């Protein structure tokens, strides 16, 4: 019998020395992901359409003893996205992790959607994600290593009235994740998606600010409550780190069992 190979399990989640970019890191899940990765050693680049928000999160990380800088970027601008990644690689010589979160959810029924509104949602959610993934994949392929984390949603597989276009973008991101993983895997680059359930962020404020709507959503999942953005940091760190070294093309559902529950009616079962 061969002796067991020594393995450092404690190092699985350690991101020390890695350069991590979070696009949309100025608030919500992006902020939590940036702060979480910094707490386990990563050097962060926090990018957001709001330079003020990105700078504020970077300062919070530095105040907590971490390393972080900030950049302003609009993922609807291809040249800006490419320039951002080129700058990061020029300054840090590498890019190990990227998490991209920007999205908009325009809640309207399909028959009420205009072409302009459709284009707005697709442009930011789907094409913006594509731009970031493409730009970041280039240096990762060259260095032969990297983790790309795209933001899906429970809406990738289940929908409700008014969510059809948003849900379409999230389903598209799941398939984009799978396709990119197949293409980039031979180069040592992993691509996975995170699919949150109901998380209290600026994007969901129209719901959380309505008491009835807020409670109905909370009761819909198995844990009976909303998630805080910080609860998404764990899955993000997992996907960024060597703890998920054999995961690619996977969508991780952090939804408190939402997608496991069939309908909103709880039947009376025989004892």
Q: In whole angstroms, give the CA distance from residue 265 to residue 24.
A: 36
Q: b/e map of 243-252 (b: 16 or more CB within 10 Å)?
A: ebeeebbbbb
Q: Which helix (H) or strand (E) holds 72?
A: strand 67-72
Q: Which of 113, 166, 217, 246 is catalytic?
A: 166
Q: In whole angstroms, give the CA distance from residue 136 to residue 82.
A: 8
Q: In whole angstroms, give the CA distance from residue 160 to residue 93.
A: 45
Contact 238, 244 (CB under 8 A): yes
- Give Cα separations from 96 to 67, 182, 216 (angstroms): 15, 18, 40
Q: In whole angstroms, give the CA distance from residue 83 to residue 129.
A: 16
As beta bridge partners, residue 183 has: none
- What is the four-CA torsion angle of 119, 122, 128, 131, rounded to 10 degrees? -90
Q: Is 217 a catalytic residue?
A: no
Q: In whole angstroms, give the CA distance from residue 255 to residue 232.
A: 10
Positions annotated as catalytic residues are 166
């Amino acid at each position: 019998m061969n002796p067991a190979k020594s393995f450092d399990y404690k190092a699985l989640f350690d991101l020390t020395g890695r350069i991590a970019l979070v696009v949309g890191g100025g608030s919500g899940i992006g902020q939590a992901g940036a702060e979480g990765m910094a707490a386990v050693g990563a050097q962060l680049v926090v990018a957001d359409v709001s330079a003020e928000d990105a700078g504020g999160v970077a300062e919070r990380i530095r105040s907590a003893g971490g390393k972080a800088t900030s950049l302003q970027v609009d993922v609807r601008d291809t040249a800006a996205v490419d320039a951002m990644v080129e700058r990061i690689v020029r300054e840090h010589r590498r890019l190990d992790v990227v998490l991209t979160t920007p999205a908009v959810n325009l809640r309207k029924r399909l028959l009420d959607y205009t072409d302009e509104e459709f284009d707005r949602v697709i442009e930011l959610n789907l094409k913006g994600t594509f731009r970031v993934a493409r730009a970041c994949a280039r240096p990762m392929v060259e260095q032969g290593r990297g983790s790309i984390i795209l933001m899906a949603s429970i809406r990738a597989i289940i929908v409700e009235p008014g969510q059809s276009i948003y849900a379409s973008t999230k389903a598209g991101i799941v398939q984009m994740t799978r396709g990119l993983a197949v293409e980039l895997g031979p180069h040592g680059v992993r691509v996975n998606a995170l699919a949150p359930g109901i998380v209290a962020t600026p994007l969901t404020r129209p719901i959380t600010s309505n008491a009835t709507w807020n409670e109905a959503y909370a009761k819909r999942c198995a844990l009976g409550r909303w998630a805080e953005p910080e609860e998404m940091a764990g899955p993000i760190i997992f996907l960024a780190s060597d703890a998920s070294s054999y995961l690619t093309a996977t969508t991780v559902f952090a939804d408190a069992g939402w997608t496991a529950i069939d309908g909103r009616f709880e039947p009376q079962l025989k004892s």
